[in-house]
Chains A and B, each alone.
Chain A
Amino acid sequence: MKKAAINIFQFYYQGFKMMTVGKKLWAIIIIKLLILFVVLKLFFFPDFLKSNFNTDEERSNYVIKQLTK
């Protein structure tokens, strides 16, 4: 089990180490994920119902009110 875990680690470690184009791509992926999850999600995309209401009952009552007004 321990040997398998080490082998898997080595597999990924060596793979990442040998990358050429991949390093640039990983930089893009990391920057992109940071922008998406840290900047956009936190500051621009709060879940409207979750952030305005505490319970599912309140959320459903709000939506019904919106749909039937």
Chain B
Amino acid sequence: MEHIDFSLVNWSRAQFALTAMYHWLFVPLTLGLSFIIAIMETYYVRTGNPEWKRITKFWMTLFGINFAIGVATGIILEFEFGTNWSNYSWFVGDIFGAPLAIEGIMAFFLESTFIAVMFFGWNKVSKKFHLLSTWLVAIGSNLSALWILVANAWMQNPVGMKFNLDTARNEMANFGEVLFSPVATNKFFHTALSGYVLASVFVIGVSAWFLLKNREQLFAKQSIKVASIFGLTASFFIIITGDGSARNIAKYQPMKFAAMENLYIGQQNAPLTAFGFLQKDTKETEVKKHKSIYKIEIPSLLSYMAFQDPNAYVPGIRDLVKGNAERNILSYKERSEKGKIAIMSLAEYKNAKKSGNDSLAATALIHFQENYKHFGFGYYANRDINELIPSVPTTFYSFRIMVMLGFYFVVLFLVVLIFTMRNKIEKKRFILYSALWSIPLAYLATELGWVVCEVGRQPWVIQDIMPTIAAVSQVNSSSVQVTFILFAVIFTALIIAEIKILTTQIKKGPETALSENTITIIH
């Protein structure tokens, strides 16, 4: 692969990143708000208090707006697979197809059926059946996300497949291994939980606006109570799954882990950089390097996070690129050579099959299988090895900002819950303004999570097996540029429409006020 159109590769990457990030602006609110609504409606069914119905219906309307505008935005990613990433699409075969097909069926039956009952079924079906439908919409939305995330997790940690040399496709060998791989399960829970945190911040932020406007105090306080408890619970589990993610990354994607920490030279008792500033090292080094110009470190925590042992050795960027015989780490050069053998064996196998030389085909197959796990490195045999290092500053800063925002949300949930329980929240205007302005921060945090995940694994579309340069279709890069602009326009229009409709609906507030009696009951 000597002649690579980097304009095509980079525009295809930018296009996919743009659509994925815009798509993700809609998804997390759906994932989290669906459960918050279900909890609120459960209160309504259990207490019979119509105020809870009113609260539920208001948030359900906002859920509906977000759902309607966001629905099908993910389909564009599938279009891009077929057009811009055709080598990749073919290569992943049914590994990707199966989860996406299940997602489609599940989304259709669970969400589409029960969402109609959820919106149209008030006073037409029994309270309990309506509640069941609301819960099923929440579960269905989250299960839809599961299948997409399983597919993504497979790209980060390809397991449960067998490569078929005759068809050039990976075939599912063990569905359970794909579905229940530690990366897949952890990724699902961590990502879904980030949606729960975002939705909690959204509900608290919008409720804070009502309190700032001195409107709907009872509605706002009840909403804050549900959202802050839900958000706190989600935050507790997000810390656990975040810890799991770190261990998975250290094990399966050590370069991403080293980039997240800017760990250049591996060490035992590796410290965690709580915060720091990076600067590109201007000294000529074979392996590109960033130096920390300021940092706050926590001793041995990185070793503990990665391997649950404070004395454990964590490999650095240089160790991974140059290799470390003492630690049994192959250099990227060695892996490139093995990858090259795998690529050449694939070509030899095809030629041998074509000419009917079965013994040569069998030998090529053995060589291929021995080296397949290094396949993608073969494309870098004659290239700058630094291309295999992701953007360290992007990964490093994104990770830290995401984590800091995560802890900020814990504090926010705790503070608003305490003041709401004490019935003083409406007087704490600074907290209310902070809550309101935390809504964009929640979106920033969840997007940055994806930046860490996806930028950190570059240049791989399938970890160690397929890099972006081998995955792209040979299409005209100018057509990718045109569609990039088209998507930017369409998605921006959708986001503007969403914000406009949401804010109009929020300003209207919940349905007509209830009697004083109801307010007394709920207090």
Contacts and interface: CB of A to CB of B under 8 A. Distances in A.
Contact of A36 (B64, B69, B76, B168): B76
Interface residues of A, number: 36
Among A29, A35, A40, the most chain B Cβ lie within 10 Å of the Cβ of A40
A30 to B, nearest CB: 11
A4 interface: no
Contact of A68 (B61, B64, B344): B344
Interface residues of B, number: 47
Given A15-B116, A63-B87, A44 B501 contact: no
Interface string B83-112: 110110111000000000000000000000
B64 A64 contact: no
A47 B83 contact: yes
> Chain A interface mostly helix, strand, loop or mixed?
helix
Contact of A21 (B65, B121, B347): B65
Interface in A27-51: 28-29, 32-33, 35-36, 40-41, 44-50
Interface in B163-222: 166-169
B168 A64 contact: yes
A21 B343 contact: no
B61 A21 contact: yes
B365 interface: no
A38 B377 CA distance: 39
Interface stretch (B231-239, B290-298, B390-398, B468-476): B468-476
14 contacts: A21-B64, A22-B64, A22-B119, A28-B68, A29-B72, A44-B83, A49-B89, A60-B90, A63-B90, A63-B168, A64-B168, A64-B347, A66-B474, A68-B346
Interface of A: 11-12, 14-16, 18, 21-22, 24-26, 28-29, 32-33, 35-36, 40-41, 44-50, 56, 59-61, 63-64, 66-69
Which 6 A-B residue pairings sit nearest by Cβ, starting from the closest?
A15-B120, A48-B86, A45-B79, A68-B347, A25-B68, A47-B82
